[in-house]
Amino acid sequence: MKADGMLIFFALLALASSFATAYDPSPLQDFCVGINDADSAVVVNGKLCKNPSFATPDDFSYSGLNVPGNTSTQLRAHVNLITADLMPGLNTLGVSLARIDFEPDGGLNPPHYHPRASEVLLVLEGTLYAGFVTSNPDHRLFSKILKPGDLFVFPFGLVHFQMNVGKTPAVAIAALTSQNPGVNTVANAIFGANWPINPEVLTTAFHLDKKLVEDLQSQEWVNPS
């Protein structure tokens, strides 16, 4: 019985450890301002850290999120993601923020996922159709029409999207649970991979004609940023 109990204990400990390492590690100090000078820094769980004695208020602030992004793109949308690269004080804190601008009638933040973060979306202006799809085997779609003041959460690592279905520009703010959430846009990864994925793989996987796959692979795939 004691041996069984120990096995269960270590199994639970291993499971708990896997959950703990699936997210940004908790910082072990009050803050760690990002710095690129390795000679005057220490490495924690993010960028190199500036000596706390040299930190300034500017390290913890960012200006310009009030400025609309350039939506004159293929997707007619723009994502301005603020991470520790732009706001060094975010380093090791496990959060980041983005402003997303959409043109009317179809501006799109296409299906994508964040490998290191969950996301909460707040609509400030316009009308968005937003949703996410669950993982195998169900692939359930959870979607909703969002108006100003509405919130929608996208769970960790799931494919999600937002599209402006209104007649006016739309603006949203996204909060993410990582200082570096990463983003993988589904269509870009599949059809814009470098080097290209063998067309036979995509023809079978997506039930598409090979010529169509090759045509899609020859196109330019851009990100909404």
Q: Can you name the residues that pair with 99 across neighbouring β-strands?
A: 80, 173
Q: What is the C-alpha separation between 159 and 148, in angstroms, rounded?
A: 23
Q: How many CB atoms lie within 10 A of CB 41?
A: 17
Q: Does residue 109 have a known ligand-binding role?
A: yes
Confirm whether residue 160 is marked as ligand binding: yes
188 known ligand binder: no
Annotated binding residue 78 = no
Q: How far apart are CA 120 and CA 190, in angstroms?
A: 26
- The distance of Cα 176 from the centroid of its chain, to the nearest Å, equals 7
- Residue 166 carries which DSSP code? S
- Contact status, residue 161 vs residue 111, Cβ threshold 8 Å: yes
114 a known binding residue?
Answer: yes
Binding-site residues for Mn(2+), in ranges, read: 112, 114, 119, 160
Binding-site residues, in ranges, read: 109, 112, 114, 119, 160
Binding-site residues for oxalate, in ranges, read: 109, 114, 119
